[in-house]
Amino acid sequence: LRGQLQVPVLEAALTEVIRRHEALRTCFPVIDDEPVQQILPVTSFPLPLTDLSHLADAGSVVEGIAHEEAQQRFDLESGPLFRARLLRLGAEEHVLLLNMHHIVSDGWSIGVLVKELSALYTAYAAEQPSPLAELAIQYADYAVWQREWLQGEVLQEQLQYWREQLQGAPAVLELPTDHPRPAVQSFRGGSQSV
């Protein structure tokens, strides 16, 4: 972010985005061995600020902090599933790190978030109210509608369509690998960070 930045205004804009979008306040506690969607109440959204302006070249430090933020696990049961952090590089240069779990957002949602955050910041910086209309529905409403729609005859039609489309498809998808698959599958594995 280049230019003069009012951190309290940015915090207020982030808080409003989170208030508007229940998905950003949602977590998934397990009740009776099943994950259940729980929408948390609206609270203020404190924006942690790290001042790196004393560093001559903060680029590698910014990359390290961004990597560290990206590696932090999300707790799906208690949240939050949306995090932000602000890095100050100079009086008029900042980096805003936004980290969201894919269970509460997708690539398309990021555009909505940036557009709304920009509109809210501009309005709040000018001491104006939010220019955004209240949302008519939330994602949870859409999910309930979709679940209710996808039942009975509609569900059977959808299943039949995909059974026909996938008729004759291989039971196992053989993708090229550098090692052949073993005759008996094991679940031993590991991970390699790159």
Tens-digit pLDDT profile for residues 130-187: 999 999 988 888 888 888 999 999 999 999 999 999 999 988 877 777 777 777 878 7
Q: What contacts 105, CB < 8 A, 6 or more positions away?
A: 23, 24, 82, 113
Which distant-in-sequence residues (6+ apart) come within 8 Å of 103 by Cβ? 28, 76, 81
Max intra-chain CA distance, the chain: 67
Q: What tens digit of pLDDT does each residue of 86-130 get?
A: 999 999 999 999 999 999 888 888 999 999 999 999 999 999 999
Half-sphere exposure of 59 (CA within 13 A, CB side): 1
Beta bridge partners of 86: 49, 96
For residue 80, whether the previous peptide bond is cis, meaning omega lies within 30 degrees of 0, is yes
pLDDT (0 to 100) of residue 70:
93
Threshold 0.85, pTM exceeds: no
